[in-house]
Amino acid sequence: MLSTFFLFDRRLITRFDLSLFFIALLIVGFGIFNLYSASVSVHAVGAVYKKQVYWLFLGIVLLFLGSFLNYSYLEQFGYFLYFFVMFLLVLVLFQGKFISGSRRWLSLGLFNIQPSEFVKLSLIIVLSKWFKDKFDTRGFSLSSLSMPGCFLIIPFFLIFLQPDLGSALLLVLIFFSLVFFVRVRFRTLFILFFCAFLFFPLSWNYLLKDYQKDRVVHFLNPSLDPLGKGYQVLQSKIAIGSGKFFGKGYLKGTQSQLNFVPEKYTDFVFSVFCEEWGFAGALVLVFFYIGLLFRFLFIASSAKNSFGLLLGYGITALFFWQIIINIGMALGLLPTVGITLPLFSYGGSSLAISLFCVGVMINIHIQKHIF
C-alpha cells in the first residue's frame, strides 16, 4: 500500500533527477546570498535572509515530498485541492493581514502564508486534468472552454480583490499558455483575441486603479518624473547598468545598499544582484534559469501520460512567465507588476511552492520508467 503511495523502489531513487535538483538549489543559494546583501544595511540585520533559510528547509522537505509522492494523486485530488485553495482565498479576504495596502497573507501564528502562491499550482492541476479528460483532437471550441474559464475567473477575481494584480495576471497567462498548447479552433482563437482587444480599454476605465494606470504610463516614459512613479524603473536600470561587466562587488552595490532600489527583496531582487555581480553574474544566473526551463520541457515531453505532460508543461509555463516578467520589469522592458523571481526572491510561500513544483517535475521524470 505504502509503496504505491510513495515510490520506494530503489531503481527509482537512482532515477532521481540530480541535475535539476542541484540547479534549483544553486539558484536558491544565490538568492539567499543576495538577500543577505540586500538586507545588511537595514536595521534588523539579516532577518530577511534568515527567514528565507528557514523556509528553504521546509521547501526541501516539500521538494522530496513532491518527488516521491506519486503525481497521479494530484490528478485524483485535483478538484479537492482547488476548492480548498479557493476557500483559503476567501478566508484571506476576511481574515488576511493587511500589509501596505493589500490583504495577501494569512497568519498561522508562527508565520504567514500567501494563498495566492498556492492558487497557481492548483489551477495548473485542474486545467491539466480537465483538458486531458475532455481532450478534443480537432481543437477545443469556445463553448467547451467555458468550464476551464470558470476555473480561471473565480481565483482571478478573488486575487484581484486583495488586490494583487501580478498574481492575477499570472493566472491569466497560465490559462492561455495551456489553452494554446492543447490547441483551440481557429474561430475560437479569433473570438478570444477580439475579447482581449475589448478587455483592455474596458479594464483601463473600470477595473484598474489609479496607481496601476500610473505604472503603465510611467513605464512608457520613466523620465517623466524621476522622483515619482517612474522612479522605481529608473533606479532599477541605474542599478543594473552601473554594475557594468564585472559588477561592483558583493555588499558594495551603492544603489541597493542605500535603498535606492525599490522592493529590493522581492520584485527588484534581480537589480540588486546585477549591480553587485555585473553582466558576468547576470549571465550565469540567467543561464541557470534557462537550464532549469529546458530541463522542465524535456521532462514534460517525455512524461509517461498526458496528464503528466500537461502538468509538466503548466509548471514550465508558470516558471517561465514569472522569470520573464520579473527580469523584464527590472530591465525596464515590461511595466512594473508585483511578480517575484521564483527560487530567488524573498517570500516563504513562493519558495516553498516553487521547490514543491521542482519536486513534481522530478516525480514526472522518475515515473517515466514505471509501467
Partner 1 sequence: MDFDQEIIEALSQRLGFLKFFVFLVFLIIFVRLFYLQVVKGDYFFDLSENNRIKIQEIPAPRGVIYDRNGRVLANNTPSFDVSLLYAGIKQLNGILPLLSEILNLDPEEIIKKVKNSLYLPRFKPIKIKLDVNRKELSGIEFHKLDLPNVVVEFFPKRNYPLKEDLAHVLGYLGEINESELARLEYSSYTPGDFLGKAGIEKVLENPLKGRSGWLQFEVDSLGRKKGVLGSVDPVPGEDLFLTIDLGLQGFADQALGEKNGTVIAMDPNTGEILAFVSHPSFDPNLFSRGISSNDWSALIKNLFHPLTNKGIQGLYPPGSLFKIVTAIAGLEDGKITPETKIFCNGFFNFGNRPYRCWKKGGHGTLNLFDAIEQSCDVYFYQVGHLVGVDALAYYAKLFGLGSPTGLILENEKGGLVPTSKWKEKTFHIPWQKGETLSCAVGQGFYVATPLQMLVLISTIANGGKVYTPSLVKKLENEHGTILKNFKFNDVHQLPISPASINIVRESLRRVVQGENGTAKIARVAGIEVAGKTGTAQVVGLPPGEARSKLPSYLQDHAWFFAFAPFNDPKIAVVVLVEHGGFGSVAAAPIARDVIKYYLENKGS
Exactly one of 189, 212, 242, 335 binds partner 1 (CB under 8 A); that residue is 242
| Cβ closest to partner 1, residue 118 vs residue 320 | 320
Q: Applying CB under 8 A, does 259 fall inside the site for partner 1?
A: yes
Q: Applying CB under 8 A, does 49 fall inside the site for partner 1?
A: no
How far is 225 from 347, CA to CA, in rounded Å?
A: 30
How far is 150 from 221, CA to CA, in rounded Å?
A: 36
Q: Is 162 within 8 Å of 210 (Cβ atoms)? A: no
| Cβ closest to partner 1, residue 19 vs residue 259 | 259
Residues 265-284 that bind partner 1 (CB under 8 A): 274, 278-279, 282-283
How far is 337 from 357, CA to CA, in rounded Å?
A: 23
Q: Provide, rounded to whole angstroms, the least separation between the CB of residue 55 and partner 1.
A: 23
Unique residue bearing C-alpha cell 474561430: 187
Q: Identify which range of 10-18, 101-109, 153-161, 255-263 contacts partner 1 by CB under 8 A.
A: 255-263
Q: Provide, rounded to whole angstroms, the least separation between the CB of residue 8 and partner 1.
A: 25
CB atoms within 10 A of CB 341: 26
CA proximity to 31, closest of 346, 281, 241, 260 = 346
Q: Provide, rounded to whole angstroms, the least separation between the CB of residue 294 and partner 1.
A: 7
Q: Applying CB under 8 A, does 40 fall inside the site for partner 1?
A: yes
| Cβ closest to partner 1, residue 163 vs residue 308 | 308
| Cβ closest to partner 1, residue 41 vs residue 144 | 41
How far is 181 from 195, CA to CA, in rounded Å?
A: 19
CA proximity to 247, closest of 271, 281, 270 = 281
Q: Identify which range of 67-75, 109-117, 239-247, 346-354 contacts partner 1 by CB under 8 A.
A: 239-247
Q: Applying CB under 8 A, does 220 fall inside the site for partner 1?
A: no
How far is 347 from 321, CA to CA, in rounded Å?
A: 17
| Cβ closest to partner 1, residue 208 vs residue 335 | 335
Exactly one of 8, 83, 135, 211 binds partner 1 (CB under 8 A); that residue is 135
How far is 118 from 89, CA to CA, in rounded Å?
A: 10
Exactly one of 78, 115, 163, 243 binds partner 1 (CB under 8 A); that residue is 243
Q: Applying CB under 8 A, does 327 fall inside the site for partner 1?
A: yes
Q: Applying CB under 8 A, does 76 fall inside the site for partner 1?
A: no
Enter the C-alpha cell of residue 184. Answer: 483551440
Q: Applying CB under 8 A, does 241 fall inside the site for partner 1?
A: yes
Q: For 41, which DSSP code?
A: T
Name the phi and psi angles at 96, rounded to 5: -65, 160
| Cβ closest to partner 1, residue 113 vs residue 127 | 127
Q: Applying CB under 8 A, does 254 fall inside the site for partner 1?
A: yes
* 59, 249, 257 from 277: Cα distances, Å: 26, 6, 14
Q: Provide, rounded to whole angstroms, the least separation between the CB of residue 236 and partner 1.
A: 10
Q: Identify which range of 74-82, 89-97, 140-148, 251-259 contacts partner 1 by CB under 8 A.
A: 251-259
Query: In the chain, which residue ranges form alpha helices assigned H by DSSP?
Result: 2-5, 10-14, 18-39, 47-68, 72-76, 78-95, 115-133, 146-160, 165-182, 186-202, 210-220, 231-242, 254-257, 269-301, 306-330, 348-367
Q: Applying CB under 8 A, does 303 fall inside the site for partner 1?
A: yes
Q: Applying CB under 8 A, does 181 fall inside the site for partner 1?
A: yes
How far is 299 from 169, CA to CA, in rounded Å?
A: 26
Q: Applying CB under 8 A, does 371 fall inside the site for partner 1?
A: no
Contacting positions for partner 1 (CB under 8 A)? 40-43, 45, 132, 135, 137, 181-183, 226-227, 231, 234-235, 237-245, 251, 254-255, 257-260, 274, 278-279, 282-283, 286, 289-290, 293-294, 297, 300-301, 303, 305-306, 309-310, 313, 320, 324, 327-328, 331-333
